[in-house]
């Protein structure tokens, strides 16, 4: 029976620490400000943005929201980003993805000042992650590393398998595990004998975006299983990429969905925003 890695518990502890750091900066006459841009009416994006605003209030970070209509042009969005890059009250800029199809996401990411890029998506910050000398880390992988640390799960020398190769989770996740001296493998939709690969993992990270993709017969006895997925099952209930009920019987540690990785993602966004001021 696996021990549950609770993102709620780790997140609450981390937010208390962030709140203290924000208060210390305020005492020094420095405010901390996060600008969040949302374009269009994506309902999932609206939920995320509201949660980010609430989290900022909780720790004392000033939150500036820019809700733009769906028909906003790329030029208008880039103009706004340029203004925010030059605004001394804004320490972090986040543009909620996905953007409407007529806007080039990479051009928008590239326009954000790397020192305010609290999502850590800018090529400058991605490059620093590759060489292990970084200021900001992408929020989800950083949150996962924070959870492993909190539960005293060592990565050193462990076989780590990441399923998924996205720029947001899979690739940076592999880099962070590698930095902590894990032996890392990335699997994806073209991987042959996937089950064979996952069965060798001491630490298995599932970031596929498919409900119940990882089944118990894919998991080694005693493995640590991290579920990054956020899906809806046939009944419309939130579920992860891992068949939790079955895998939990084999794993030593496992993250639930919801209440696992999710709470950490926003907390690490707050961490990056505070770091932007401290640095």
Query: What six digits make up the tokens of 35?
Result: 């600008």
Omega of the bond prior to 258 within 30 degrees of 0, cis? yes
Of the listed 116, 117, 119, 227, which one is catalytic?
119
Concerning whether 220 is annotated as a catalytic residue, the answer is no
Kind plus residue range of the DSSP H or E element containing 253: strand 253-254
What does the block give as tokens for 154?
């060592």
Cβ contact 251:261 at 8 Å: no
Dump the DSSP string for 112-163: S-GGGBTT--SHHHHHHHHTT--S---HHHHHHHHHHHHTT---TT-EEEEE
Whether 116 sits among the annotated catalytic residues: the reply is no
253: which strand partners? Answer: 3, 224
At a CB cut-off of 8 Å and minimum separation 6, what does 106 contact? none
Identify the active-site residue in 52, 171, 220, 250.
Answer: 52
The reply to whether 217 belongs to the active site is no
Tokens linked to 21: 């750091």
Active-site annotation, residues: 52, 96, 119
């Amino acid at each position: 029976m696996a021990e549950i890695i609770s993102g709620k518990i780790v997140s609450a502890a981390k937010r208390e620490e962030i709140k203290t750091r924000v208060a210390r900066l305020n005492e020094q006459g420095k405010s901390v400000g996060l600008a969040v841009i949302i374009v269009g009416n994506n309902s999932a994006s609206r939920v995320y943005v509201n949660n980010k605003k609430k989290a900022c209030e909780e720790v004392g970070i000033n939150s500036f929201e820019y809700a733009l209509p769906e028909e906003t042009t790329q030029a208008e969005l880039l103009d706004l980003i340029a203004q925010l890059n030059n605004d001394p009250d804004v320490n972090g800029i986040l543009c909620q993805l996905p953007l409407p199809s007529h806007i080039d996401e990479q051009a928008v990411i590239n326009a954000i000042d790397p020192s305010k890029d609290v999502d850590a998506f800018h090529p400058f910050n991605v490059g620093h992650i590759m060489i292990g000398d970084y200021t900001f880390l992408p929020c989800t992988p950083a949150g996962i590393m924070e959870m492993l640390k909190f539960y005293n799960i060592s990565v050193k020398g462990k076989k780590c398998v990441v399923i998924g190769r996205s720029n947001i989770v899979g690739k940076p996740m592999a880099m962070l595990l590698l930095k902590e001296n894990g032996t890392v493998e990335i699997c994806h939709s073209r991987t042959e004998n996937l089950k064979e690969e996952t069965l060798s993992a001491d630490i298995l990270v599932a970031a596929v975006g498919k409900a119940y993709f990882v089944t118990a017969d894919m998991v080694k006895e005693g493995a640590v299983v991290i579920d990054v997925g956020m899906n809806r099952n046939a009944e419309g209930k939130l579920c992860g990429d891992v068949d939790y009920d079955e895998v939990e019987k084999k794993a030593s540690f496992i993250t639930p969905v919801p209440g696992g990785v999710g709470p950490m993602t926003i907390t690490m966004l707050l961490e990056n925003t505070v770091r932007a001021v401290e640095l």
